[in-house]
Every structure is written in C-alpha cells, then in structure tokens.
Amino acid sequence: MKRSIIGALGALGALGALVGLTLAGCATTLPPTTIAVSDSGVFQPSVRVGWSISKVPGAPSDPQSSHGIEIGAMRASGDDTQGLAASQGPVRIGGTEFDPGQTLRYEVDLTYYDVTYRFRRFFGDGSFGIEALAGLAHAILDLTVSSATQRASESRSSTGIQGGVGGIWRLRPGTSLQARYTWFGSGDYDDSTTASSVEFSAAQALGRNIVVRGGYAVTKAKSERDYSLSRIEVELSGPLLRLELQF
C-alpha cells in the first residue's frame, strides 16, 4: 500500500512537471514579428487615361467640371532592413521562418491598377475645384526577405474597391496644382490588403490630350494575414511622374 501511494505521488509529480514545462513553452512562444518596409526617395512612375462623359468646353487636358472615367497603372520598388532582437518573435513568410537575433533585408515591388469614376466641380471663376473618386482596383505586392543564410519570396494580389478625394487649383488653362488622396481595401479578416496614397503634384498640358504631371507621393500598403504569419506593412515615398491622356 505504501509503495502504491509513493508510486501515485511520483506519477503526479511527473505529470505536474510535464504540465509546467508545457505552460512555460507556451508562455515563451512569441507571435510573428511584423515585416515593416519603409523607403524614401522611391521613384513612382504611372500612366493614366481619362475620358470625360460630360460635354465640356475647351481642351480635355484642361481640368474642369465634369464626370469622367480614369484607368491607371503604377509601379514602385523599394528596399529596407530590419533588425530582429532576441526578445522578438520570428519572421514567417513564404514557408520560411527567420529566427530573431539577426538583420533581415527586404525588397518590395508594389503594382497597382485601377478603373475609377471621377467627379469634378469647379467654383466661382473656375480656378478652384474639388473631385471625388470611386471604383475598382487591383494591387500586387511582391516581397523578398533575405538573411545571411536564408531567402524567401512571396507574392500577394488582391482586388477590391477604391475611393478618393482631391482638390485642384487652376493657375491658367492647362496648368494646375493638385492634391489627391485615395484608399483601397480588399479581402476578409484573416487575409486582407489595404493601400492608400497621398499625392501633391503640378500638371502641364501638352496640347489638347496630353498632360505631364510631376510631384511627390506617399504610398502605403498593409497585408493582414493568418495569425501564424508575419503581417506586412510597406511605405514608399518619393517623386512621382505621370503621363496622362485625356479625351
């Protein structure tokens, strides 16, 4: 009887030790670290084609009150590094896990296509106007993560809705300043992508149908993923150059 009691106590002790180790392991398991890419000085080229669906006087390249459709494409590339402290969780991407305690290098390509309805309204003498935008967009995010011993790549694409607002100041016919904010959202809770862009630009018409636009843009993209994978946050900022065809 005494031996049975001692054996039972020993078994309980072993079980308690096992439970303790399991709980300790769970307590020290950290969630994946967010992949954060921030690069300034990124050149952001794009093209846009627009059609006015309102009858307007003057050249199509001169902004004025109207309803229209725009189709656009943009691509930008950037890179960054991120140090993972030993106290952080790993980075998980593309089926690869990068352990903490090292520096990772990120290379990112962001491609963006959209089809947008555009409404513009000018006030007073026609020198100042506002615009509203709504449509569909498709975003493609290509990301490569590398360390001294590992390398992994992943491509994510999403289709969703886009909205935006802007303001236009016409300095003279064919010459204007513009500020525009656009937002994009797509996906479900565990696998969603959002993007936004803020632009400040000056536009110059080259004839009735061609516009060249230059300025500065800040483009952001976020990818929410399954909790076992690293979230992705990208911010690219720098000069923009756009060729526009207006009809």
**127-157: string of b/e by CB count within 10 Å (b at 16+)?**
eebebebebebbbbbebbbebeeeebebebe
The predicted-structure confidence for 131-158, as pLDDT tens digits, reads as follows: 999 999 999 999 999 999 999 999 988 9
pLDDT at 8 over 80: no
Of 5 and 110, the one with more pLDDT: 110
Query: What is the tens place of the pLDDT at every residue in 217-246?
Result: 999 999 887 788 999 999 999 999 999 999
Strands 91-93 and 192-205: unpaired
Instruction: Return the bridge partners of 107, or none.
Output: 79, 144
pLDDT category at 189 given cuts 50, 70, 90 is low
Structural domain boundaries in the chain: 1-30, 32-246
pTM as predicted: 0.83
CA 166 – CA 111 distance, rounded (Å):
22
Query: Could you tell me which residues are beta bridge partners of residue 143?
Result: 108, 154
Check whether domain 32-246 has CATH 2.40.128, yes or no: yes
Residue type, 236: L
Q: Is the pLDDT of residue 208 over 60?
A: yes
